[in-house]
């Protein structure tokens, strides 16, 4: 293998990694692991990534895949052959970037959408699943309100640096907000404007097309 290999599920958080790969021009190939079909839990994938999650990134010359979205996005952003630098060069700006990614991955994605869509990860007792999902929805709404306040200053992207690895992940979460019926256009004007900038990028259109996703915001 001479290129990266991204294990992804269409429309999952792995879409952010797919976009970053398209943006930076790093050579890669795609392997679909459709979560709705349970492909992430099949023995053949668990041999690749025992965590049973996407994304996972196979790296040329490395025996083990790299897992966890923040780690994968950072590696891509630092690839020596990249054509676009999606990671700020200043240490403090990079820390702010990591601050965003950590919060989005650990809290908004995990505690929010993870609890909403997969309550069984958080409670074995099925009678508790409705309450877990409801709490996940509240977590999402509170986090989205915070994101909306951040974009109220009409910033074009999440960081003053400009377009970074944060923005594809925010775009994925914005899309998920639409999927669960939140009034994204009306409630989050600044974030919506930024999401539209991201959506208009050719690399984003390529990633959506390759994953078979139609989306407008």
pLDDT of residue 178: 97
Q: How distant, in Å, are the alpha carbons of 39, 126, 170, 211 from that of 15? A: 17, 30, 11, 8
Q: How distant, in Å, are the alpha carbons of 79, 101, 177, 216 from that of 182? A: 36, 22, 5, 14
pLDDT of residue 2: 78
Kindly report the length of the chain.
Answer: 217
Residue pLDDT tens, the chain, 217 long: 679 999 999 999 999 999 999 999 999 999 999 999 999 999 999 999 999 999 999 999 888 999 999 999 999 999 998 999 999 999 999 999 999 999 999 999 999 999 999 999 999 999 999 999 999 999 999 999 999 999 999 999 999 999 999 999 999 999 999 999 999 999 999 999 999 999 999 999 999 999 999 998 8
Output the DSSP codes for 163-188: S-THHHHHHHHHHHHHHTT--HHHH-
Structural contact between residues 151 and 157, judged by C-beta atoms closer than 8 angstroms: no
Q: Rounded distance, CA 150 to CA 122, Å?
A: 29
Q: 167: Cβ–Cβ under 8 A, 6 or more apart, which residues? A: 157, 158, 194, 198
Strand partners, 32: 8
What is the CATH topology of the domain spanning 4-77? Glutaredoxin (3.40.30)
Second CATH level (architecture) for the domain 91-211: Up-down Bundle (1.20)
Q: Rounded distance, CA 11 to CA 58, Å?
A: 20
Order of strands across the sheet with 56-58? 28-32, 4-8, 56-58, 66-67
Q: 202-211 vs 189-199: helix axis angle to the nearest 10?
A: 80
> For the chain, which residues make up each domain, given as ranges?
4-77, 91-211
Regarding pTM above 0.75, the answer is yes
In the chain, which ranges are continuous DSSP H helix?
Answer: 14-24, 43-48, 69-77, 91-103, 115-117, 129-150, 166-179, 184-187, 189-199, 202-211
pLDDT of residue 1: 64
32 phi, psi to nearest 5 deg = -75, 135
């Amino acid at each position: 293998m001479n290129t990266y290999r991204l294990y992804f599920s269409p429309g999952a958080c792995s879409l952010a990694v797919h976009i970053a790969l398209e943006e930076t021009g790093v050579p890669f190939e795609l392997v679909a692991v459709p979560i709705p079909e349970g492909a992430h839990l099949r023995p053949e994938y668990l041999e690749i990534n025992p965590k049973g999650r996407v994304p996972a990134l196979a790296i040329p010359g490395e025996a083990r895949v790299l897992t966890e979205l923040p780690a994968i996005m950072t590696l891509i952003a630092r690839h020596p052959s990249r054509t676009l630098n999606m990671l700020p060069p200043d240490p403090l700006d990079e820390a702010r970037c990591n601050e965003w990614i950590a919060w989005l991955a650990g809290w908004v994605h995990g505690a929010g959408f993870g609890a909403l869509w997969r309550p069984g990860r958080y409670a074995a007792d099925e009678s508790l699943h409705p309450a877990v999902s409801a709490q996940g929805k509240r977590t999402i709404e509170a986090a989205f309100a915070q994101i909306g306040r951040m974009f109220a200053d009409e910033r074009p992207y999440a960081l003053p640096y400009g377009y970074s690895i944060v923005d594809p992940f925010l775009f994925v979460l914005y899309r998920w907000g639409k999927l669960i019926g939140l009034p994204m256009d009306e409630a989050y004007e600044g974030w919506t404007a930024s999401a539209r900038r991201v959506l208009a990028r050719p690399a984003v259109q390529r990633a959506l097309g390759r994953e078979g996703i139609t989306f407008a915001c």
